[in-house]
Amino acid sequence: MVLIALSMQEFRGSQSLRHRLVLSTLTGTPIVIKRIRSEAANPGLNDSEVVFLRLLSQLTNGTTVEINPAGTLLKYSPGLIINNPGPELITFDCGSGRALSYYIEGILPLCLFGKNPLNLKLRGRSNDEVDVSMDSLAAVYTPLLKELGVEDFHLAGFRRGVEDGEATLTLTPIRRLEKPIQLLDPGKVKRVRGTVYCSKGSPQMANRVAYSAKGALQQLLPDIWISTDFTKRGSQSLLGISLSAETNTGLVLAADAFRGEDSLVEELETDVPEDLGYTVALRLLDEVFHGGCVDASLHWLPLLLMALGPKGRKGSVLLGRLTNHSIELLRLIQTFLHVTMDLESAANPAEAVDSAEEEEAGEEDYEELADPLRQNFPSNVLVSCIGVGYQNMARIAF
């Protein structure tokens, strides 16, 4: 099945602009977006959104973009996804407005259905306080895409920096998704891996962050390895950490913390290296506690690929929680793909494990299991839908 929708869709506001553009390109639907920050002090598209439009034009053929002088009106007519037009490496400058992961996460669904293999090097800001880190993106999406048949997805070549960071993304496009997404069992965490990155500062800063994070997590499991990535390059200092928890079902949950972020814990000031490590440990434990198969900040790719899955076959993803960002994404999927997601409340997998342990335990051991930390787990959300059978429109035969 090939999806081609020629009727123009109209939107208002700047929310989910990346996702609107990506879904427009996948379905061949022209869109117009009005009143983009029209009431803001700085109205119109920001620099990062303009750069993302330039990147889309670089990876497609025949795309037309019209922006009014004020930047508050955008008309976008998508072209054909070609990825690399030739064997040469594409080098693209993203500037320093947003982290490189902002652009990589946006274009990844497009590149999966391109005409040619992708070999792209992005330059710009490697990390910031808003976006997930490239380390987390690679850790979470690599096993997910491998499960779906994308064997040669590689996100590597990281170079940290505010303006001169780099990352290289390579993959070979697929014709279609051969099997639906089934992410139902998050499993148990068996090991934790992480990276602390630091530039233009003392290497001891990175060591202090790693020591604090490892100390907080070693109370729960012994297999923890956190490496440090230190460089003297760059004009500004960077200090951040990314942790990933690998489960026995092959899934990965990740969490980030960056110096300067606002902490959810009032007593923790993330400018202090030890507090930065402790903060990211708490964030990772929070993801594990909610029991989902995908991080709350990385719902974009699995939900979209579930809707694009094999025609007539049902895909399901167990989420720990639905964010406002996820809800807006579900609405966009319904608008562009005409796919309605089914949402069901599901029990947290940890509750089922505890119940089984309580049945096996005798009366003498029951009091030990009755720990307040093992009770009142938050309920999960089971998201499911029937795939539309999306096929690569840029390349009919492989």
Lowest pLDDT segment from 5-9, 42-46, 313-317, 338-342? 5-9
pLDDT over 90 (residue 235): no
The total of structural domains in the chain comes to 2
Mean pLDDT of 56-74: 94
Q: Which residue among 132, 148, 178 closes a domain?
A: 178
Let me know how long the chain is.
398
Quote the percentage of the chain above a pLDDT of 70.
87
Lowest pLDDT segment from 11-25, 46-60, 217-231, 360-374? 360-374
pLDDT over 70 (residue 2): no
Q: Can you give the pLDDT at residue 152?
A: 86
Q: Which residue among 235, 270, 290 closes a domain?
A: 290
pLDDT tens for 21-58 read 999 999 999 999 999 999 888 899 999 999 999 999 99
pLDDT over 90 (residue 86): no
Residues 227, 125 share a domain: no
Q: Can you give the pLDDT at residue 25?
A: 95
CATH of the domain at 194: 3.30.360.20
Q: Which residue among 122, 151, 178 closes a domain?
A: 178
Is 226 contained in some domain? Answer: yes
Is 397 contained in some domain? Answer: no
Containing structural domain, residue 51: 9-178
Mean pLDDT of 388-394: 87
Mean pLDDT of 198-211: 86
Is 345 contained in some domain? Answer: no
Is 91 contained in some domain? Answer: yes
Is 337 contained in some domain? Answer: no
pLDDT tens for 109-161 read 999 999 999 999 999 988 888 899 999 999 999 998 988 888 789 998 888 87
Residues 25, 126 share a domain: yes
Give this prediction's pTM. Answer: 0.89
Residues 214, 133 share a domain: no
Identify the residue whose tokens are 């979209």.
304
Q: Can you give the pLDDT at residue 149?
A: 82
